[in-house]
Amino acid sequence: MPDITPNMVKELRERTGAGIMDCKTALTESGGDAEKAVDYIKKKGLAKAAKRAGAIAAEGVVHAYIHPGGRIGVLAEVNCQTDFVARSAEFKQFVDLVGMQVAAMNAQFTRREEVPPAELEKQKDIFRAQVEEESKQSGKPRPAQVVDKITDGKLEKWLAEVCLDEQVSVVDGEKTIAALSAELSAKIGEKISVRRFVRFELGEGVEKKQSDLAADVRAAIAGG
């Protein structure tokens, strides 16, 4: 049996965030090899991924993504449970994907639970009015339950478009951001969570001055 020192356990714990006994077991099973011990803990983490769903993800990064051309920028906070994972290539790749996704698809919320009730009601009223107008234009009135069903369908589609977690990845093209986050969580054995983000677009919200060349010339002559 290899001689596992407290310092070896301490270093492994700092690298992985695993518990003391888990680190000692990993080192013992790996013959004292730190790298193999890290792999051991990662593999064991796969089995524990589901249990980590309620864990607190307080580490991570605040990432700045600037879209080519410099007209759109994103600041995103993505959390994990240990600084060790925050420095990993896989985590950084996911974080960059989040920035790219927000820039390209202009998500308004991270997940649907964050959508204010007032905003949900507002959108529902808009969609209901659209359905009723469609019925009016077609001259074929729809039963109330049908109107409700179509309205709810439109609301679900809207939520999938404005909530980051439910958007299909612009890189993967098939899986949602939530699914990719869950896969990464299972792979590394830590909870990964997009906490918040903000998107900036050049000129957004600025009322551009309308230039009237003829008026400018007249004003120049009058003042001349």
- How confident is the model at residue 96, as a pLDDT? 95
Given a cut of 80, is residue 26 above it in pLDDT? yes
Map residue 59 onto helix, strand or coil: strand
Confidence grade of residue 15 (pLDDT, cut at 50, 70, 90): confident
Residue 180 exposure: Cα atoms within 13 Å on the Cβ side: 24
The 10s digit of each residue's pLDDT in 187-212 is 888 889 999 999 999 987 666 555 55
> 145 φ, ψ to 5°?
-65, -30
- Residues β-bridged to residue 193: 79
Beta strands in 88-212 (DSSP E): 193-201
- Residues β-bridged to residue 168: 176
What tokens appear for 157 in the block?
């589609």
> Once rounded to an integer, what is the mean pLDDT over residues 167-184?
92
Contact predicate 44/33, CB 8 Å: no
When the pLDDT of each residue in the chain is averaged and rounded to a whole number, the result is: 84
Architecture label for domain 1-54: Orthogonal Bundle (1.10)
How large a percentage of the chain has pLDDT more than 70? 82
Question: Which helix (DSSP H) or strand (DSSP E) does residue 66 occupy?
Answer: strand 59-66
CA–CA gap between residue 66 and residue 64 (Å, rounded): 7
- How confident is the model at residue 46, as a pLDDT? 40
Beta strands in 67-204 (DSSP E): 72-80, 193-201
Given a cut of 70, is residue 169 above it in pLDDT? yes
- Within the chain, all domains assigned CATH 1.10.286 are found at 116-159
- How confident is the model at residue 37, as a pLDDT? 84
Contact predicate 168/99, CB 8 Å: no
The 10s digit of each residue's pLDDT in 210-224 is 555 556 555 655 665
- Within the chain, all domains assigned CATH 1.10.8.10 are found at 1-54
- How confident is the model at residue 5, as a pLDDT? 87
Residues 6+ apart with CB under 8 A from 156: none
Higher per-residue confidence, 80 vs 16: 80
- How confident is the model at residue 1, as a pLDDT? 57
Topology given in CATH for the domain delimited by 116-159: GTP Cyclohydrolase I; Chain A, domain 1 (1.10.286)
Question: For residue 189, which of 30, 98, 82 has the smallest C-alpha distance?
Answer: 82
> Once rounded to an integer, what is the mean pLDDT over residues 6-17?
77
Given a cut of 50, is residue 61 above it in pLDDT? yes
The 10s digit of each residue's pLDDT in 140-149 is 888 888 989 9
Question: For residue 64, which of 176, 199, 185 has the smallest C-alpha distance?
Answer: 199
Contact predicate 110/45, CB 8 Å: no
- Residues β-bridged to residue 65: 74
The 10s digit of each residue's pLDDT in 28-47 is 888 888 888 888 877 776 43
The 10s digit of each residue's pLDDT in 71-125 is 999 999 999 988 888 999 999 999 999 999 999 999 999 999 999 999 999 999 9
